[in-house]
């Protein structure tokens, strides 16, 4: 039996508002609509359908314009009806599900469906290792960081007011259950005073986080001088730990990416800030999937290195010879000693990599922030996943250009900077060995910065104890006579009985104080004897002894230097932030944040100036005092000329001279440039080899699918991939033609290719991995009749697309 049914439809390509379909009794209305190019809003008894071509248009626009909303597209292309906007949103979800199913079938036919396939093969320069290629110091480099721009509002009273579907079909995401296995690796430390204030008043913190018992990435590290720079990171995060942030269900996402820009994994930050469990989960996943000797970049990589070693991942991390570092831009906010160890410019084998990949990713993904704030959890993940998918495709298309530009940058440095560097060395009559000596001396000086000799510290403690003992002893001797010699001004003659009862209380108080001072004097005397034994002092120092006078002078100088170094630090910070606030590209919110920090620091500087003046007057001879009004108007550090009196003065060190310091930095950069040339030679040849092998693999697959319904989708994928590969090959040949290119200009042979199957992208050197914990399979799913009908329609549409 054949029937005819009219349906309301939406199609941006024409003015058709109704369509008539023909179907028999065995064909459902939804299936009949798909045959004529429309996707129904509902799989059961649909009353409205949206054109598949229109959904494809919206899908394409979303890929290249992430902040295009459903509402904006609907207003531009549809009549202003709310039902049409809702229909477009619902059918777009189904359309994306259809695309994911088709992609899954294509991946199966190509052999790209093994566990962690995307992570192990998306970036050929990182993964496609060749036979007989020069060894690299780090087999791969990747970076991690968080982005709190893509927040999502929580429901009123923590209730979900929209759909509660879970999106678990993306292999970008690590599951919440997997991440929470590392929640107890690091405990939260008690809140401490805001490091930004430095003497100012701390703001009240009203936190209400669900995960507030868990520590941040710096809490797993010991408290050492090397890690003092992490206080600035915590202080910068202080303003984000306010109660107002509880309005968000997801406060952002935590991501990792290789240094070429390809995304590895993503984690939702749920009702929390940047906790240690997020980067630890990334490290744990990398230890399972990747081989040894990789480098993990993080803006607090210095302290997080200790966090890893103190966690359950420490033994495996050390066994695989992995290490952490900072990314280049954030690294300059760390203290100098920290930079000597963890900054990319100072790490052998890193080349010219800055590891700022995620800053570029976040700058681009922030386009989604205007859409994701009020989305459901399902669509929040879907749109982020869609953005990351397109980001990876763009990175692959531009991969050869990126390597080509890196090669040009390295050649330019060797051609221009290296020659001028050697000329400067000759002009100053120094050698590269001298530069290495300067670097070693600088490291030793920085390691000793802030330290004091043990004998000086003992002398300080000894003199302080002697002072306390003399003061306490004098107070004890005077306590017995003070009451007898003291006559109150309001003294009145009283009877014997009344006088006794009134004076008894005062006598008891005086006796209690006398006994207390006696016990205190005894304790201090015991400590004096102990420190005398340690220092080998045979007779007690007197105030007129030379040793005593020398120690007092050292104490006064010590207080002066401490006050001066504190003041120096605050002034430098203020100069930097004043400069930053006046930059043209600094946004309004950042200017407001900096302005608030400057107001707090101004009070801290005023307190530091007062402390400095007190310490300066105590010196012999006294030092010049500072005027707060002058200090607050400093614009250049060289105006702060009293810095020459610091204990760890560097003005007389050869490595601190401006010219030598510049040469030391150039020396590091040139050394990294030679490493960059080697890495680029390896990575370009890896990419070339993959393209050649992939072309052979595609020919084999297409021949096998000659009579298969999957031939069409696979052919479409292959044509798109080969079009991109042809662009990559053209750029690779341009790199081969560079005058300074120093490697082979032919493709190589992949490691283990003799034991590989037809797929050149299979991870031959990687053992089979367990199912990706990023998949949320196993989450509760609705098995009702409606869900079953949706699956049936999807299967039908998939079969249609394969015919």
What are the tens digits of pLDDT across the range 435-451? 888 777 777 766 655 55
pLDDT recorded at residue 730: 96
Whether pLDDT at 112 is above 80: yes
- Contacts of 500-503 spanning 24+ positions with Cβ under 8 A: none
- Contacts of 383-386 spanning 24+ positions with Cβ under 8 A: 383/62, 383/66, 384/150, 384/253, 384/266, 385/167, 385/170, 385/172, 385/173, 386/62, 386/63, 386/66, 386/96
| Residue 174 shares a structural domain with residue 243 | yes
| Residue 199 shares a structural domain with residue 72 | no
Select the more confidently predicted residue: 655 or 51.
51
pLDDT recorded at residue 199: 40
Q: For residue 190, give both structure tokens.
A: 């008690």
| C-alpha angle 269-244-69 in degrees, rounded to nearest 5 | 60
Q: How many domains are there within the chain? A: 4
What does 627-663 look like in DSSP terms, one character per residue?
Answer: -HHHHTT--SGGG-GGGGG-TT--TT-GGGSHHHHHH
| Residue 191 shares a structural domain with residue 271 | yes
| Residue 367 shares a structural domain with residue 288 | yes
Nearest in space to 143 (alpha carbons), one of 288, 291, 254 = 254
pLDDT-derived band at 222 (thresholds 50, 70, 90) equals low
pLDDT recorded at residue 731: 96
Q: For residue 311, give both structure tokens.
A: 């966690």
pLDDT digits (tens, 9 = 90+) for 306-341: 889 989 999 999 999 999 999 888 777 777 777 888
pLDDT recorded at residue 538: 76
pLDDT digits (tens, 9 = 90+) for 339-381: 888 889 889 999 999 999 999 999 999 988 888 888 888 888 9
Using CA of residue 541, residue 545, residue 547, residue 549, what is the dihedral sign?
positive
Select the more confidently predicted residue: 411 or 339.
411
Task: Decide: helix, strand or coil at residue 10.
Answer: strand
| Averaged pLDDT, 580-585 | 45
Whether pLDDT at 666 is above 80: yes
Backbone angles phi, psi at 297, to 5 degrees: -95, 135
Among 647, 676, 693, the domain boundary falls at 647
Looking at the domain assignment, is residue 741 inside a domain? Answer: no
pLDDT recorded at residue 673: 94
Among 397, 429, 445, the domain boundary falls at 397
| Residue 65 shares a structural domain with residue 161 | no
Percent of the chain topping pLDDT 90: 29
Among 631, 647, 663, the domain boundary falls at 647
Looking at the domain assignment, is residue 695 inside a domain? Answer: no
Residue 571 region by backbone torsions, left for phi larger than 0, else alpha for psi between -120 and 50, else beta: alpha
Report for 7-16, 99-108, 793-802: range of highest mean pLDDT: 99-108
Q: Domain of 785?
A: 2-110+778-802
Name the average pLDDT for the chain: 76
Looking at the domain assignment, is residue 217 inside a domain? Answer: yes
pLDDT digits (tens, 9 = 90+) for 559-574: 777 777 676 666 655 5
* C-alpha distances in Å from residue 326, one per residue of 85, 261, 354: 46, 16, 9
Looking at the domain assignment, is residue 744 inside a domain? Answer: no
| Residue 219 shares a structural domain with residue 347 | yes
- Residue 1 CB-density burial (10 A; 0-12 exposed, 13-18 middle, 19+ buried): exposed
* C-alpha distances in Å from residue 677, one per residue of 259, 325, 354, 686, 759: 16, 21, 15, 14, 30
pLDDT digits (tens, 9 = 90+) for 683-725: 999 999 999 999 999 999 999 998 888 899 999 999 999 999 9
Select the more confidently predicted residue: 385 or 84.
385
β-pairing, 263-270 vs 248-258, is antiparallel
| Residue 470 shares a structural domain with residue 487 | yes
| Residue 515 shares a structural domain with residue 480 | yes
Nearest in space to 666 (alpha carbons), one of 411, 338, 432, 500 = 432
What does 110-155 look like in DSSP terms, one character per residue?
Answer: HT--STTHHHHHS-HHHH--BTTPPP-SSSEEEEEEEE-SS-EEPP
Looking at the domain assignment, is residue 128 inside a domain? Answer: no
Whether pLDDT at 42 is above 50: yes
Whether pLDDT at 452 is above 80: no
Whether pLDDT at 196 is above 90: no
Residue 771 region by backbone torsions, left for phi larger than 0, else alpha for psi between -120 and 50, else beta: beta
Looking at the domain assignment, is residue 720 inside a domain? Answer: no
pLDDT digits (tens, 9 = 90+) for 376-409: 888 889 999 999 999 999 999 999 999 999 999 9
Select the more confidently predicted residue: 702 or 153.
702
pLDDT recorded at residue 767: 37
Give the Cα separation of 259 and 248 in Å (integer).
31
| Residue 554 shares a structural domain with residue 633 | yes
| Residue 255 shares a structural domain with residue 319 | yes
Q: For residue 67, give both structure tokens.
A: 């902040």
pLDDT recorded at residue 800: 45
Select the more confidently predicted residue: 774 or 74.
74
| Residue 327 shares a structural domain with residue 275 | yes
- Number of alpha carbons in the 13 Å side-chain half-sphere of residue 237: 20
| Residue 162 shares a structural domain with residue 229 | yes
Specify the range with the lowest mean pLDDT, choosing from 65-69, 478-482, 747-751. Answer: 478-482
Give the Cα separation of 335 and 465 in Å (integer).
35
Task: Provide the 10 A C-beta neighbour count for residue 727.
Answer: 14
Report for 180-184, 329-333, 635-639: range of highest mean pLDDT: 180-184
* C-alpha distances in Å from residue 100, one per residue of 385, 620, 712, 800: 11, 79, 16, 15
Specify the range with the lowest mean pLDDT, choosing from 76-80, 86-90, 769-773. Answer: 769-773
Match 């929040």 to its residue by tokens.
380
Report for 495-499, 654-658, 719-723: range of highest mean pLDDT: 719-723
Looking at the domain assignment, is residue 426 inside a domain? Answer: no
pLDDT-derived band at 8 (thresholds 50, 70, 90) equals confident
Whether pLDDT at 789 is above 80: no
Looking at the domain assignment, is residue 470 inside a domain? Answer: yes
């Amino acid at each position: 039996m054949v029937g005819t049914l009219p349906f309301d439809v939406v199609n941006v390509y024409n003015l058709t508002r109704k369509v008539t379909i023909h179907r028999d009794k065995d064909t459902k209305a939804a299936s009949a609509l798909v045959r004529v190019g429309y996707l129904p809003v509902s799989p059961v008894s649909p009353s409205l359908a949206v054109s598949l071509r229109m959904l494809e248009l919206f899908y394409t626009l979303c890929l290249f314009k992430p902040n295009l909303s459903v509402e904006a597209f609907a207003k531009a292309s549809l009549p202003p009806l709310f039902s049409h906007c809702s229909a477009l949103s619902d059918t777009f979800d189904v359309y994306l599900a259809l695309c994911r199913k088709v992609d899954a079938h294509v991946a199966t036919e190509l052999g790209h469906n093994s566990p962690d396939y995307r992570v192990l093969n998306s970036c050929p320069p990182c993964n496609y290792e060749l036979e007989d290629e020069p060894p690299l110091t780090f087999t791969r480099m990747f970076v991690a960081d968080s982005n709190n721009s893509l927040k999502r509002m929580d429901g009123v009273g923590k209730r979900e007011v929209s759909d509660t579907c879970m999106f678990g079909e993306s292999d970008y995401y690590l599951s919440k259950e997997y991440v929470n296995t590392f929640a107890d690796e690091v405990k939260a430390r008690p809140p401490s005073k805001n490091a930004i204030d430095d003497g100012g008043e701390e703001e009240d913190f009203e936190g209400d986080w669900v995960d507030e018992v868990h520590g941040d990435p710096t809490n797993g590290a010991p408290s050492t001088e090397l890690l003092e720079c992490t206080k600035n990171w915590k202080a910068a995060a202080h303003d984000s730990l306010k109660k107002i942030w509880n309005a968000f269900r997801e406060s952002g996402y935590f991501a990792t990416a290789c240094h070429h820009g390809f995304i590895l994994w993503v984690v939702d930050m749920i009702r929390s800030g940047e906790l240690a469990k997020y980067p630890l989960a990334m490290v744990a996943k990398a230890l399972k999937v990747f081989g040894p000797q990789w480098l993990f970049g993080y803006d607090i990589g210095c302290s997080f290195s200790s966090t890893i070693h103190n966690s359950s991942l420490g033994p495996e991390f050390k066994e695989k010879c992995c290490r952490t570092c900072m990314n280049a831009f954030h690294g300059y906010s760390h203290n100098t000693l920290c930079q000597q160890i963890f900054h990319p410019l100072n790490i052998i084998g890193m080349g010219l990599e800055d590891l700022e990949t995620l800053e570029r990713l976040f700058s681009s993904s922030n386009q989604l922030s205007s859409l994701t704030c009020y989305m459901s959890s399902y669509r929040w993940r879907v749109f982020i996943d869609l953005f990351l998918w397109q980001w990876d495709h763009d990175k692959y298309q531009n991969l050869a250009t990126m390597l080509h530009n890196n090669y040009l940058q390295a050649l330019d440095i060797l051609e221009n900077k290296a020659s001028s560097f050697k000329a400067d060395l000759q002009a100053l009559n120094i050698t590269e060995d001298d530069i290495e000596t300067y670097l070693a001396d600088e490291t030793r000086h920085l390691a000793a910065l802030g330290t004091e000799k043990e004998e000086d510290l003992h002398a300080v403690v000894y003199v302080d104890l002697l002072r306390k003992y003399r003061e306490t002893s004098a107070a004890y001797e005077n306590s017995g006579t003070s009451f007898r010699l003291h006559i109150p001004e309001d003294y009145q003659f009283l009877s014997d009985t009344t006088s006794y009862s009134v004076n008894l209380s005062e006598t008891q108080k005086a006796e209690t104080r006398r006994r207390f001072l006696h016990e205190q004097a005894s304790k201090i005397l015991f400590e004096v004897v102990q420190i005398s034994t340690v220092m080998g002092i045979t007779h007690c120092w007197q105030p007129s002894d030379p040793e005593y006078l020398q120690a007092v002078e050292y104490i006064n100088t010590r207080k002066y230097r401490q006050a001066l170094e504190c003041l120096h630090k605050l002034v430098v910070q203020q100069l930097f932030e004043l400069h930053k606030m006046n930059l043209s590209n600094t946004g309004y919110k950042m200017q407001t944040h900096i302005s608030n920090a400057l107001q707090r620091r101004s009070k801290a500087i005023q307190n530091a100036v007062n402390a400095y003046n007190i310490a300066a007057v105590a010196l012999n001879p006294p030092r010049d005092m500072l005027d707060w009004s002058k200090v607050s108007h400093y614009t250049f550090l060289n105006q702060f000329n009293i810095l020459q009196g610091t204990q760890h003065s560097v003005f007389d060190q050869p490595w601190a001279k401006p010219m030598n310091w510049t040469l030391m930095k150039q020396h590091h950069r040139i050394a990294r440039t030679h490493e960059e040339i080697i890495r680029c030679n390896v990575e370009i040849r890896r990419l070339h080899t993959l393209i050649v092998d992939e072309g052979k693999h595609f020919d084999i697959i297409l021949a096998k699918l000659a009579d298969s319904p999957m031939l069409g989708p696979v052919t479409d994928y292959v044509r798109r991939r080969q079009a991109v590969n042809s662009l990559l090959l053209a750029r690779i040949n341009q790199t081969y033609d560079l005058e300074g290119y120093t490697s082979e200009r032919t493709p190589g042979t992949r490691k283990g290719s003799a034991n590989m199957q037809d797929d050149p992208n299979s991870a031959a050197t990687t053992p089979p991995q367990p199912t990706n914990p990023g998949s949320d399979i196993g989450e509760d799913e609705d098995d009702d009749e409606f869900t079953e009908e949706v699956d049936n329609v999807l299967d039908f549409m998939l079969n249609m697309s394969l015919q």
